[in-house]
């Protein structure tokens, strides 16, 4: 079965089934993102003292999409 066929079948699932499939597929990826406790504390301190700005999820997505268009 081709990827296009799998995608077509996956898109035919209802929303709940697509979400379960997405979670299942994501769990198979090796996403090695390691943050030390020190880095987490530094990022929190950066937010507290204004060196970093907190943004909403919507703003994050907007910025990512804008960057991808470049």
pLDDT for residue 9: 97
- What pLDDT digit, counting tens, does each position of 7-65 carry? 999 999 999 999 999 999 988 988 777 889 999 999 999 999 999 999 999 999 999 89
What's the pLDDT score for residue 54? 92
The pLDDT, as a whole number, for residue 33 is 78
Asked whether the whole model's pTM tops 0.85, one would answer no
Helix axes 3-11, 15-27, angle to 10 degrees: 140
Does the pLDDT at position 69 exceed 80? Answer: yes
- In a 13 Å sphere around the CA of 22, the CA atoms on its Cβ side amount to 8
Mapping DSSP onto H, E and C, the string for 2-42 reads CHHHHHHHHHCCCHHHHHHHHHHHHHCCCCCCCCCHHHHHH
């Amino acid at each position: 079965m081709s990827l296009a066929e799998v995608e077509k079948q996956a898109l035919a699932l209802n929303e709940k089934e697509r979400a379960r499939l997405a979670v299942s597929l994501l769990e198979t990826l090796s996403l090695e993102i390691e943050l030390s406790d020190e880095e987490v504390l530094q990022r929190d301190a950066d937010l507290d003292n204004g060196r970093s700005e907190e943004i909403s999820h919507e703003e994050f997505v907007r910025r990512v999409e804008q960057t991808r268009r470049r």
